[in-house]
Amino acid sequence: MVLGQQTIGSIAQVLAATRLDAVDVLFYKHLGFTTSYCGSGMSGFLEALQNADDDAIRPLVGEMVREPDTLRVYASPKYAFDGAWRELQHWLLHDGWTVDGGALVRLAPAAEEGTGVRDRLLEELQSSGLDPDAAIATCLEDAATDFKAEPPDYNGSITKVRIALETTARRSATQLAAAHKGTYHPDTWGKALEFLRTIRVLELQEEEILARVYTFISPGAHLPVGVTHEEWARLARTFGIGTCYFVLKKHMAAT
């Protein structure tokens, strides 16, 4: 959870508007120390937040948005808290987050949603005949839910995208095998790609690229040095969903 300096400052302002012992509890739970370590007051809170890891900030902000009324009980005067709270929500929105029903919700979960490829994939799945039980669409929707959850389940999101990709290829091979009176045993991802290449739905180079993408987003894939888990999940989702759409388009062109 990467937040801008205005948002970090706004969190400090909200904390400064409530009682010190409430801040102590929040810091102890999520940062591992109390204000006796960093200093009390807005500047002390700001320094502590600036030096905290993103993974520690996330649950702290999550608790604040779940229980704002509890924090407000300790605030005096109340209007100072209310003004700081409105300012925090403003800057969270600026960073791509909103408060909805006591939860922190991401407004822009991944690059693939910005390009619209996920929406096109879901639309065209309905007319492709590959998803009569909506299993693929459900995987994609659940993947988005996992990514936007608080806290997010990045591994779960990537896994569901990978399942959607594999299911699309295997169902394509099954349908096209029946249409071409070919032989395909629907047991593995690799066999599905091999069959689609055999009947010239895929070129050899395309088969190799699809295989590499699948390996790239599979469990146990190495997290590159210098890349956060969130950035890795965004990249894996974008690759996986884009590849799934590619397989779907190739299938529809062959039917």
The whole-angstrom separation of Cα 178 and Cα 55 is 50
Counting DSSP H helices and E strands in the chain, the numbers are 14, 2
**pLDDT given at position 102:** 84
Q: Is the pLDDT of residue 148 over 90?
A: no
pLDDT band at 193 (very low <50, low <70, confident <90, very high): very high
The whole-angstrom separation of Cα 20 and Cα 23 is 5
Q: Is the pLDDT of residue 183 over 90?
A: no
pLDDT band at 235 (very low <50, low <70, confident <90, very high): confident
**pLDDT given at position 184:** 78
The whole-angstrom separation of Cα 10 and Cα 3 is 11
pLDDT, average across residues 157-176: 95
The per-residue pLDDT of the chain, averaged, comes to 87
Residue tagged 């400052």 (tokens): 9
pLDDT band at 254 (very low <50, low <70, confident <90, very high): very high
**pLDDT given at position 222:** 64
Closest CA to 142 of 130, 157, 163: 157
- Domain coordinates in residue numbering, the chain: 5-106, 111-254
The CB-based long-range contact list for 148-156 (8 Å cut-off, 24+ gap) reads 148/105, 148/106, 148/109, 150/58, 150/62, 150/103, 150/104, 150/105, 151/58, 151/59, 151/62, 152/106, 152/230, 152/233, 154/229, 154/230, 154/232, 154/233, 155/219, 155/233
**pLDDT given at position 110:** 52
pLDDT, average across residues 66-78: 89
Q: Is the pLDDT of residue 35 over 90?
A: no
Q: Is the pLDDT of residue 149 over 70?
A: yes
pLDDT, average across residues 207-231: 82
**What is the C-alpha end-to-end distance of the chain, expressed in Å?**
44
pLDDT band at 234 (very low <50, low <70, confident <90, very high): confident
pLDDT band at 8 (very low <50, low <70, confident <90, very high): very high
pLDDT, average across residues 107-134: 78
For the chain, give the percent of residues with pLDDT over 90. 53
**The pair of three-digit structure tokens given for residue 74, joined into one six-digit string:** 């300790």
Q: Is the pLDDT of residue 2 over 70?
A: no
| Strands of 42-111, DSSP E | 97-100, 103-106
Closest CA to 246 of 194, 193, 198, 199: 193
Phi, psi angles (nearest 5°) of residue 117:
-65, -35
Question: In this structure, which amino acid lies at residue 125?
Answer: L
Closest CA to 158 of 210, 220, 107, 245: 220
Report CA-CA distances (Å) from 253 to 104, 173, 219, 241.
41, 13, 31, 18
Residue tagged 């690799």 (tokens): 190
* Segment 112-124, tens digit of pLDDT: 555 578 888 999 9
Q: Is the pLDDT of residue 65 over 80?
A: yes
**pLDDT given at position 192:** 94
